[in-house]
A and B are shown apart, each in its own frame.
Chain A
């Protein structure tokens, strides 16, 4: 066993985000058995990654960790993070449309129809169970992230034709990204 070097707390740990159409995004996440220090660290790293992206929500699936963990922050000042561990939707109501985008499908924004109100039960970062009722952007974001845990993406709500167009676009973008890594001197 070699000794691990502990990073100072201020260091931001960024995790790599999977990009559509990576099949790993389709894996169904397993429930978290114990909310312990390992999970708390993972949550913190997920929040750092989400803020840096920048995004308003991130599911563990997107960083190739297939456990039922979601982080969200829809606040103006990015200072109100919400952690949902083993989340379960208790009730859905209403209907609304919103333009959604996804950190795993960068640059694509599409109008998606979903229930406009949601009631969800989950466990927080400290291991305490809680319930949350949401509407507006938060309600949409919760549903979007919970979909990830079941291997579902917002493009699945689009027509196959549209989804295929996005798929091709993302494959092309991935190639360009690989090339850029050599060109970009920044």
Chain B
């Protein structure tokens, strides 16, 4: 029996991704079924690493090639990047990295490329360090040029921090379900299992693990004591308040982390959770099942902006709009964003966010509050979006967010940049309807 070589599988994933097959989150689980059990973790590390450093890896390979490869030989080009990645960023022994990568050429049925791949990798071993110095800015920072200029324009004092943190690996952070256990007690349970973790200042439900571990090995995971969620995402539920018998709408709920947190945190009479993607809504359901909140939440698979299709006319006291966004605040968790996102997507997303804001505002009761959230750091999606909204609605005003963080803040908005307290980049704005 044969299993697919892990390096060939990695190249296939990157090829599929770049030809419109979807994100790593979608493609990786499929590819992991094709390799040996022992290679599953390596496959993930190779794919994430290649996505994270893609800009730099292509810059280096370009520097090593005398003439560019043809478009139809993209597989060989990616294989070369994979080889350079292993040499530059992993502890795989250099000779093994070169040998296995050259051996993988066979799979692509391009025997002519064997010598070339070998030469490129050996040259990188000889003069890789001097090549790094010759890289242009986008290659050096491993971010696409358009995104780099956006960051520079929006964050003249912070763009380098944003990029540096975007290129790092994110920590694994837990959200403690304090209906089941206190954060301190759970920290003790973790220590009993010899897992080290730290509390996060200002976010009482969060524990950041020193080293990531498989969720199933965490004490009482199946009992719903904890969920995996970045600390910055754990701000949403406290901002929505204690519920007190009121009705909450979570308009774009998948995968359900913030929905569940709202239920853990508050005494909502009812929570309505929407998502337009049936598969992703199914994940919300699973999350709620594990945490035993199934009965308290109503799920609808629908486009939130099309209120005619789902809204019964009963206004909500609170709305969470975790809007579709560029994801530029979570590049450290989803490095494939740098390969998949295009500049013109931003304008489209800003349009979608406006449609959602306008539509959902109509379903909010006077005196109610809408929490607008993105995991973006681009101002067009964040503070400019809120200014635009406030300008055209007479019955909207900002509510001050009283939290001890946020790199940039105005009355009702906070922007957390990636890396702040080791968190993802998130934007929050709290709006009240008068």
Contact = CB atoms under 8 A, between A and B. Distances in A.
B37 interface: yes
Main secondary structure of the interface of B (DSSP, over half): loop
A76 to B, nearest CB: 4
A74 interface: yes
Contact of B1 (A106, A140, A186): A140
A101 B2 CA distance: 5
Contacts of B191: none
Interface in A65-123: 72, 74-76, 98-103, 106-107, 109, 111
Contact of B36 (A56, A109, A184): A56
B114 to A, nearest CB: 5
A53 B38 contact: no
Contact of A136 (B2, B37, B109, B115): B37
Interface string A115-135: 000000000000000000000
B114 A56 contact: no
A76 B40 CA distance: 11
B1 A145 contact: yes
A180 interface: yes
Interface residues on A, range: 20 to 34
Nearest to B5: A54
Given A99-B34, A111-B33, A186-B115, A176 B1 contact: no
A107 B4 CA distance: 8
B109 A102 contact: no
A102 B107 CA distance: 14
Contacts of B115: 186
A contact face: mostly helix, strand, loop, or mixed: mixed
Q: How large is the interface on B (under 10, 10 to 19, 20 to 34, 35 or more residues)?
A: 10 to 19
Contacts of A106: 2
Contacts of B111: 180, 183-184, 186
From B2, B36, B111, B115, residue with most partner A Cβ within 10 Å: B2
Contacts of A145: 1
Contact of A57 (B1, B5, B38, B114): B1
A123 B115 CA distance: 44
A51 to B, nearest CB: 12
Contact of B2 (A103, A137, A176): A103
Interface in A155-185: 173, 176, 180, 183-184
A172 to B, nearest CB: 11
Given A176-B109, A186-B111, A102 B2 contact: yes
B33 A102 contact: no
A21 interface: no
Contacts of B114: 186
B37 A74 contact: yes
B5 A109 contact: no
B1 A102 contact: yes
A184 B34 CA distance: 29
A151 interface: no
A140 B45 CA distance: 26
A115 to B, nearest CB: 15
Nearest to A186: B114
17 contacts: A53-B2, A56-B1, A74-B37, A75-B38, A76-B38, A98-B33, A106-B2, A107-B107, A109-B34, A136-B37, A137-B37, A140-B1, A173-B109, A180-B111, A183-B111, A186-B111, A186-B114
Given A98-B33, A183-B111, 13 more contacts: A54-B5, A55-B1, A56-B1, A56-B2, A57-B1, A74-B37, A101-B1, A101-B4, A103-B1, A107-B107, A109-B4, A109-B34, A137-B3
Interface of B: 1-5, 33-34, 36-38, 107, 109, 111, 114-115
